[in-house]
């Protein structure tokens, strides 16, 4: 039966250093550690050097060198084609989850893991000391995690405000189309903003630059955007408690007749769909962007591109695919209904 070998561990390397400095021979060190003399000789030759500038044997350095020799790099470092494909999709705004899921859907098996992509990007940022690597990720964070915070709420001053707990229960599980959420993206320059309108089931999101956040123009814009949709795709609209939505009751009137609801104070997570969509869109429009120097058509193009990125929650279909199917379904339903006799 052949012999099995195990790597020297850090404790053994410390013993080698102590005995070697004490003048023990290679055979004496090997006998003390119950190792072969050839293993001890190879360990010392690898990690001390030779000649007049030979360094003393250092166990911590020897341990690091052993790990470095055994590590062959992450999969993205070893597979050039896969790395180029992943970085290309990250550049287009895809998240690691979307990349891993879509590749699995297209090829029928797991191609790469989500954590592998995250670790590769953050490792490259650390190894190269170049923070630009974080911009490959959707939110370009230096670290992964969240930073909670709270501010004031004008909820008590919004006329005809209806709390979210009165919204139909069918809106909660995202199975019934036609429930929307709205919010504004704000920027570092005062007064600049982009309106985000998000459909909860399909995750389809519209992004439109607006001249301001005044309540009356905001209500008129939302009315104009939602009015062309089939009635079954206009079931509810949810806001936070910003005063820019104070004229919400204009949407309740006929012919639109759209019920509107508001999150609890300090609870933006209750409209998490549009919050998530805005977070993703920050990759395209960072907070420091000057909208005065940006063609509004570029925002529409970026929104269209975002709606054509597959989502894990949609079984890696795109929001545009799901939303178009919803519209076609309700249009067919409306034309196939029998006329009253």
Q: Please, which residues bridge with residue 317 across strands? A: 311
Taking the C-alpha atoms of residue 220 and residue 106, their distance in angstroms, rounded to an integer, is 42
Taking the C-alpha atoms of residue 13 and residue 68, their distance in angstroms, rounded to an integer, is 16
The predicted structure's pLDDT at residue 53: 58
Taking the C-alpha atoms of residue 257 and residue 223, their distance in angstroms, rounded to an integer, is 10
Neighbours of 50 (CB within 10 A): 8
Q: Are 253 and 166 in contact (CB under 8 A)?
A: no
Tell which wins on pLDDT, 330 or 143. Answer: 330
Q: Sorting pLDDT into bands at 50, 70 and 90, what band is 1?
A: very low
Q: Which two tokens stand for residue 177?
A: 């189309």
First to last CA, the chain: 92
Q: Are 261 and 204 in contact (CB under 8 A)?
A: no
Q: Please, which residues bridge with residue 323 across strands? A: none
Q: Checking phi first, is residue 23 left (phi over 0); if not, alpha (psi -120 to 50) or beta?
A: left
Tell which wins on pLDDT, 97 or 72. Answer: 97
Q: What percent of the chain has pLDDT over 90?
A: 44
What is the overall mean pLDDT for the chain? 85
CA atoms within 13 A on the CB side of 73: 10
What are the two backbone dihedrals, phi and then psi, of residue 16, each rounded to the nearest 5 degrees?
A: -60, -45
Q: Which two tokens stand for residue 28?
A: 């004496």
Strand locations in 130-268 (E): 179-186, 193-199, 205-210, 236-239, 260-262
Asked if the model's pLDDT at residue 70 lies above 80, the reply is: no
- Show Cβ contacts of residue 101 under 8 Å, excluding neighbours closer than 6 positions: 310, 312, 316
181: three-class secondary structure by DSSP: strand
What are the two backbone dihedrals, phi and then psi, of residue 97, each rounded to the nearest 5 degrees?
A: -65, -40
- Our CA dihedral for 11, 15, 20, 22, rounded to 10 degrees, sits at 150
Residue in 278, 251, 277 with CA at minimum distance from that of residue 262: 251
The predicted structure's pLDDT at residue 199: 96
Residue in 319, 324, 250, 322 with CA at minimum distance from that of residue 98: 319
Q: Which two tokens stand for residue 52?
A: 């007049």
The predicted structure's pLDDT at residue 341: 47
210: three-class secondary structure by DSSP: strand
Q: Sorting pLDDT into bands at 50, 70 and 90, what band is 68?
A: low
Digit-coded pLDDT (tens) for 307-332: 999 999 999 999 999 999 998 888 77
Q: Mean per-residue pLDDT for 54-68?
A: 77
């Amino acid at each position: 039966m052949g012999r099995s070998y195990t790597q020297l561990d850090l404790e053994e390397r410390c013993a080698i250093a102590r005995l070697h400095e004490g003048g023990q021979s290679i055979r004496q060190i090997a006998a003390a550690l119950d190792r072969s003399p050839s293993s001890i000789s190879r360990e010392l030759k690898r990690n001390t050097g030779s000649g007049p500038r030979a360094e003393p044997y250092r166990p911590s350095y020897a341990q690091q060198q052993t790990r470095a020799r055994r590590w062959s790099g992450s999969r993205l470092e070893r597979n050039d084609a896969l790395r180029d494909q992943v970085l290309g999709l990250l550049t287009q705004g895809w998240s690691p989850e979307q990349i891993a899921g879509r590749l699995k859907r297209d090829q029928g098996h797991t191609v790469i893991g989500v954590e592998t992509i995250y670790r590769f990007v953050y490792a490259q940022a650390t190894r190269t000391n170049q923070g630009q690597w974080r911009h490959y990720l959707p939110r370009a964070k230096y670290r992964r995690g969240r930073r909670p915070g709270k501010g004031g709420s004008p909820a008590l001053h919004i006329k005809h405000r209806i709390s979210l707990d009165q919204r139909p229960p069918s809106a909660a599980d995202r199975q019934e189309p036609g429930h929307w959420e709205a919010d504004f993206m704000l920027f570092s320059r005062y007064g600049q903003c982009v309106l985000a309108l998000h459909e909860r089931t399909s995750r389809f999101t519209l992004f439109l630059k607006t001249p301001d956040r005044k309540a009356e123009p905001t209500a008129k814009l939302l009315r104009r955007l939602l009015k062309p949709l089939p009635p079954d795709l206009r079931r509810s609209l949810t806001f936070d408690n910003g005063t820019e939505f104070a004229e919400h009751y204009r949407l309740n009137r006929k012919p639109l007749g759209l019920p509107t609801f508001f999150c609890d104070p300090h609870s933006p997570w209750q409209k998490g769909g549009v919050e998530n969509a805005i977070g993703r869109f920050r990759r395209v429009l960072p907070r420091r962007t000057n909208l005065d120097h940006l063609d509004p058509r570029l925002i529409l193009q970026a929104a269209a591109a975002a709606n054509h990125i597959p989502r894990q929650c949609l079984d890696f279909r795109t929001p545009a695919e799901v939303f178009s199917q919803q519209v076609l379904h309700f249009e067919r339903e409306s034309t196939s209904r029998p006329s009253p006799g």
